[in-house]
Chain A
Amino acid sequence: MDSVLIVGGSVLSSTGVVSADVLIVGDRIERIGEGIKDETARVIDASGSWVGPGFVDVHTHLREPGQEWKEDIATGSAAGAAGGYTALVAMPNTDPAIDSGHLARFITGRGEEAGLVQVIPAGTLTMGRRGEQLAHLDDLWAAGVHMFSDDGDTVADAGLLRRAMEYIAQLGGVVSEHAIDPGLARGGHMHEGTVSSRLGMTGIPAIAEVSIVARDLALVELTGVTYHLQHVSTRGAVELLAAAKDRGLPVTAEVTPHHLAFDHQAAAATDASYKMMPPLRESDDVVAVREALKSGTIDMVATDHGPHASHEKDVPFEHAPFGVTGLEWAAAVVNSVDGLGLDQETFFDRMSLSPAALLGLADQGAPLTEGAVANVVVFDPGATWTPTETLSKSRNAPYFGKEYTGRVTATLYRGALTYEMESGR
């Protein structure tokens, strides 16, 4: 059997963070300890690096089926592996939308064919994501769907969302909400504030997010469903979230790398690499989401990896679709955020443990332990580098040409090396 020996890293293990080698044989972690010798193993030098469970992303757009010119499950998986991920949730706003069991099984199967990460389908809340009637929630659940979302749109009809929540609560699933009021956001392309006003562009106000979060939290209190708030972008939403957690509601939240890294001034030059939904907000909002990620009010990082082809993005800002890619740089961006300074345990909690717990995944997002399936990442938190390339089909990221600190050097999925940084790249 093939074996891999990760030497000299700082290992997040079930007994805490330890300096140790990790020997992986076949698909399992064989040993964690000091001075392991294995003449036949492929050796990965992890000195100065963090070794821990592979990252888990609860929010990606892999564009298959229906928009394979932007991305497909194989290329998205490769980008994920390069970013240190071993599990990705594929959001269901594909064409067709994932509103039925057989479609969810297709996603899982395509992920297994690619074999680079575990691809987990999310299902829609409503048929065709049209916000009119409930999707085939039971069939989706039976096909392995745990997270339900009409991502890309808020469920505008609160009565329909309530029924979806009641049904999903009974199943034990998670409702994941893209929280932006469609009326308040109508016609908007960037955050409503000084930048949009000066450009004469219609804005997407912060309250478009805050008002829906307030509504949803009231529905969570009513229905008891486990609720996950996507891509938090405003201080107002952070405050509502903190209050809901204080009251003991079953609520989690994610923040994206781009909302941690940039504010709306980045969009002032109308470069569509900075166009996404929700939009980049004020600097005070950026401070709020950073603090919330550090404190745990925001539980996890999710990329909202949203590939779009160059010909779709190299157009005037208002004509470009929303979304930026992020899988390959998320860990670097999070590690580079000014003043965040997450230690190894917190970093892995936000990147791996919390998202895996939300999804109820076995074999993912757990501190490394002997005998467990080897889903492992090696991350060098001190390495500086400047992204120039991508394994995604699309290049619509705001990170190219900027320097970041922290780099994934190797990823193993079920014991197999799915990414290894070539030296000098």
Chain B
Amino acid sequence: MQHLLSTEQMGRSEAESLLDDADGFLEVLDRPIPKVPALRGRTVATLFFEPSTRTRMSFERAAKALSADTLSFSPSGSSVSKGESLKDTVLTVQAMGADLAVVRHKAVGAPWRVAEWAQMRVVNGGDGAHQHPTQALLDALTIRRSLGGLDGLRIGIIGDIRYSRVARSNCFLFPTLGADVTLIAPPTLLPVDTEGWPVRHSSDLDAEIGSLDVVYLLRVQTERGGASVFPSLSEYVRRYGLTQRRFGMLKDEAVVLHPGPMNRGVEVSDVVADDPRCLVLDQVANGVAVRMAVLFRLLGGTSG
């Protein structure tokens, strides 16, 4: 593996071996001194051209737990605000000695361009509404650790799917790992054309919810790019919110995931968000281990 850009072409054995490594790194993170020297002398740059605190912190935590050095870049107050092109920025960071770049960008395909321009390894930290592969891996790890595996599970992904890189990443990884995925959203938030996707879709949450093993909620906003995409938040909650009533319709062992940050009272009710079956904080913890596994896979064993 040279880069991690997408879950679309990721095979089952490759995904499972990353999850196995992540299990091992979770043990490392549980030690009194949660650090190993695996990537000592290597430099990981986090190039986040779009505001993000959580994902950046998670990658930096992962890099440091592997003893890598980190370089951090954010566009405000940088050369980008002076009009520097993406290509020049990337080549500049590479010239400073970065071995791997984690790239987040609002433009679809930006991490692929970076991989073409630079010799660095590249991890897609989220491109537009396209892909966010480490999120999908940490979600899969969370489900696997909670329910034992994804084979045969029914997973409903609910909410702003059309504009979600998290949904697009999970849509391909979860079925690769054996799950049966249903996308549930109002028509204006479903992708326009899902031909060739290994998923079903529905606009009726109440009809689906009783059969789900995993409820995967996405953050919703009433406006996307200035266009209104559904009538109002209250109408959304009525039809698609994980209210206490709907939580009660779930199977007893079913779990709830959310990539964060949550809109309490919108896609998830306050009480449900704090229920032990809502695994949001496990996802965050597992994210560090998954990112350690990815960084180690891409940089481990390469010569300094």
Contacts and interface: CB of A to CB of B under 8 A. Distances in A.
Interface of A: 186-187, 192-194, 196-203, 269-270, 311, 314-319
Nearest to B171: A198
17 contacts: A192-B193, A193-B192, A197-B194, A198-B8, A198-B191, A198-B197, A199-B109, A200-B128, A200-B130, A200-B131, A202-B225, A270-B112, A315-B87, A315-B113, A316-B109, A318-B109, A319-B86
Contacts, number: 73
A192 B192 contact: yes
**Which of B8, B86, B109 is most buried by chain A, counting CB atoms within 10 A of its CB?**
B109
Contacts of A202: 225
Contacts of A194: 193, 195-196
A419 B194 CA distance: 49
B107 A319 contact: yes
A199 B112 contact: no
Nearest to B105: A316
Nearest to A193: B193
B129 interface: yes
A200 B107 contact: no
Contacts of B131: 200
Given A186-B227, A187-B227, A317-B108, A201 B129 contact: yes
A358 B259 CA distance: 58
Interface in B143-182: 162-165, 168
Nearest to B191: A197
A316 B87 CA distance: 10
Given A194-B196, A197-B194, A187 B225 contact: yes
The 7 nearest A-B residue pairs measured at CB: A200-B129, A270-B109, A316-B107, A197-B191, A200-B130, A316-B110, A318-B107
A198 B192 CA distance: 9
B302 interface: no
Contacts of A318: 107-109, 128
B85 interface: yes
B10 to A, nearest CB: 15
A76 B64 CA distance: 54
A192 B131 CA distance: 18
B129 A316 contact: no
A316 B113 contact: yes
Contacts of B105: 316
Nearest to A189: B108
Contacts of B191: 197-198, 200
A198 B108 CA distance: 11
Nearest to A312: B85
B84 to A, nearest CB: 11
Interface string B107-119: 1111011000000
Question: Of B113, B163, B197, B227, which is in contact with the most chain A CB atoms at under 10 Å from its CB?
Answer: B113
Contacts of A201: 108, 128-130
B161 to A, nearest CB: 10
Nearest to B88: A311
A396 to B, nearest CB: 15
Interface string B183-210: 0000000011111110000000000000
Given A200-B165, A319-B107, 5 more contacts: A197-B193, A198-B168, A198-B197, A202-B225, A316-B86
Nearest to A203: B192
Contacts of B163: 200
Nearest to A200: B129
A410 B230 CA distance: 59
A200 B85 contact: no
A316 B107 CA distance: 6
Contacts of A269: 109, 112
A328 B226 CA distance: 40
B87 A197 contact: no
A197 B193 CA distance: 6
A199 B227 contact: no
Q: Which of A200, A314, A318: most chain B CB closer than 10 A?
A: A200
Contacts of A193: 192-193
Contacts of A270: 108-109, 112-113
A173 B134 CA distance: 59
Contacts of A316: 86, 105, 107-110, 113
Given A187-B225, A270-B109, A316-B107, A200 B196 contact: no
Contacts of A186: 227
A194 B194 CA distance: 6
Contacts of B8: 198
Given A200-B168, A201-B108, A270-B108, A315 B85 contact: yes
Contacts of B110: 316
Contacts of A315: 85-87, 107, 113
B58 to A, nearest CB: 22
A192 to B, nearest CB: 6
A316 to B, nearest CB: 3
A270 B109 CA distance: 6
Nearest to B49: A316
A311 B197 CA distance: 35
B85 A311 contact: yes
A346 B226 CA distance: 48
Contacts of B193: 192-194, 196-197
A363 to B, nearest CB: 46
A315 B89 CA distance: 12
A194 B87 CA distance: 29
Nearest to B113: A316
Contacts of B109: 199, 269-270, 316-318
A193 B85 CA distance: 30
Highest count of chain A CB atoms <10 Å: which of B162, B163, B192:
B192
B192 A196 contact: yes
Nearest to A319: B107
B228 to A, nearest CB: 12
Nearest to A311: B85
A423 B164 CA distance: 54
Nearest to A320: B107
B80 to A, nearest CB: 12
Contacts of A199: 108-109, 128, 130
A200 to B, nearest CB: 3
Contacts of B225: 187, 202
B190 to A, nearest CB: 9
Nearest to A271: B109
